[in-house]
Amino acid sequence: MDEVRERMLEMIDEAESSGQPMSWFEDLYRHSNRDRGQIPWDWEGPHPFLIEWSNENEALGRRVLVVGSGLGEDASFLWKRGWKVTAFDISEEAVEWARHLHQETDIDWMVGDLLSPEPGWICKYDLVVEVHILQAIPEEFRKRAYPNLASMLARGGTLICIGKLADESNIGDSGPPWPLTWDFINQADEWLEEVEKHSAIIPEKEGERYRAVWKRAG
């Protein structure tokens, strides 16, 4: 196991023992001293599946909410493509770091928790994007968090979820991340209309990845 992952697992244990199981995200960002090499999920650019989707879907100045925005690469990419962007993360340090990295934008960066979204976000966004968030939080929280993504869509709005797909080789892995099964991902079918389910291997990235896209009725 590499040093970065070992340290992350120690922080997760400490956070669980302190009764605040999500606090390790903030600990990890702070202890990195703004060295991106210490952030295990940082791809230093937008997710290729988001780029692909965006190539076929115009922004037209509409509003997007980027959930668990981390260091802000997906948010910044969408802003450059013409979206009006709000981005939030549970970690205050991640939000401040992302704000600093993407100073040229007018993204509305916020600290927030997907488990209790701000009332002002409900039914507001034409697009809600989550990249590698559901898979980063333990199942008990993930089940509560998932319906909240759909609740933030305006009528006719689109939800995009991108993550790592569970398969026989990784299904028993101790996370994070916890790759997700199609059974879990497909629960959004209860609230939204399916637009796309796509999966593929991304060169130089481990495992199969998915992009699932839904629409709220207009």
Asked if residue 137 binds ligand SAM (CB under 6 A), the reply is yes
Grouping H, G, I as helix, E, B as strand and the rest as coil, residue 71 is: coil
What phi and psi values does residue 73 have, to the nearest 5 degrees?
-65, -40
How many CB atoms are located within 10 Å of the residue 87 CB? 29
3-class secondary-structure state, position 146? helix
94 lies in the binding site for ligand SAM (CB under 6 A): yes
- The Cα–Cα gap between 210 and 161 comes to 8
Should residue 117 be labelled a site residue for ligand SAM when binding is judged by CB under 6 A? Answer: no
Select 42 or 167, whichever has its Cβ closest to ligand SAM. Answer: 42
Would you say 193 or 206 has its CB closer to ligand SAM? 206
Q: Does 125 bind ligand SAM (CB under 6 A)?
A: no
- Closest to ligand SAM by CB, 68 vs 157, is 68
Binding residue for ligand SAM, selected from 54, 91, 105, 158, defined by CB under 6 A:
91
Secondary structure letter of residue 95 according to DSSP? H
How many CB atoms are located within 10 Å of the residue 204 CB? 5
Q: Between 147 and 186, how does the x/- string for binding to ligand SAM read (CB under 6 A)?
A: ----------------------------------------
Phi, psi of 92 (to 5 degrees): -65, -40
Site residues (vs ligand SAM, CB under 6 A): 22, 25, 41-42, 68-70, 89-91, 94, 113-115, 131-133, 136-137
